[in-house]
Structures are given as structure tokens and as C-alpha cells.
Amino acid sequence: MVAGWLALAFIAFVTLSPIQDRPSFLHPQAERFAAYAVMGLAFVLGYPRRTALIVLFVVFSAFTLEAMQLLTPDRHGRLLDAVVKVAGGFAGIGAGHFILLVLRSQFGRLRSRAEHSPS
């Protein structure tokens, strides 16, 4: 649960900080996509039954933080950047659900084996 909120805090810091303070590791669009993918994944793993709320939260945070850049003198908010962020968030949400599906499948097999094994 904490990982999703920490990811959001880091994203907000990087998005709204002065451009010279922004860390850079990859191409900026790849960074945006990856950051939101990590956030989406972390929120799904932390709140597995809240998918609709997580989707809304990803979309809202992407567009809100992008719009807030318009209030800073050295940053610019762009629709394309918000769309890349949302796509990354959706990829993370999908990956999180895939991980949960695999884990449930594995635990189901283990449970089934334990129930059918001789005592």
C-alpha cells in the first residue's frame, strides 16, 4: 500500500519541481510511462479490489499534475505527456492484475494439493 503512495509523491515532486532538479534516466516519455506503470502496479497490489478507483486515480493524477505544471514558470503541461502517463498507469494496472492472477492460481494449486494429499 505504501509503495503506491510513495510513487505518487515522487511523481508529484518530479513533475512540479524546477526542470533542473528533475532526475533523468531515460527518454522523458519512457520515464513518464514507467513511473505511472510502477504507480499503477503498486496501487493494484496494495488495493486489489479497488481497480475502478485506481483507474480514476491514475487518470486524475496524470491530468491534474500535468495541468499544475502550467502554474510553474519553467515547466509546461502537455496533453501528450498526460496521455503517456495514463497509458503507463494502465499498463501497470494490467501487470498488477496479471501478477495477482498468477499468484491466485499458484495458491489454488497448492491448496488443492494440500486438500488431496494423504494425511
pLDDT tens digits in sequence order for the chain, 119 residues long? 799 999 999 999 988 888 777 777 778 899 999 999 999 999 999 999 999 999 999 999 999 999 999 988 888 889 999 999 999 999 999 999 999 999 989 877 766 666 766 65
- pLDDT at residue 27, rounded to an integer: 87
- Any idea what DSSP says for residue 46? H
Number of domains in the chain: 1
Asked if residue 20 is part of any domain, the answer here is no
Q: Contact at 8 Å (CB) between 43 and 4?
A: yes
Compute the 3-state secondary structure of the chain and give helix, strand, coil in percent, each to the nearest 5. 80, 0, 20
Which residues constitute the domain of residue 87? 2-15+25-116
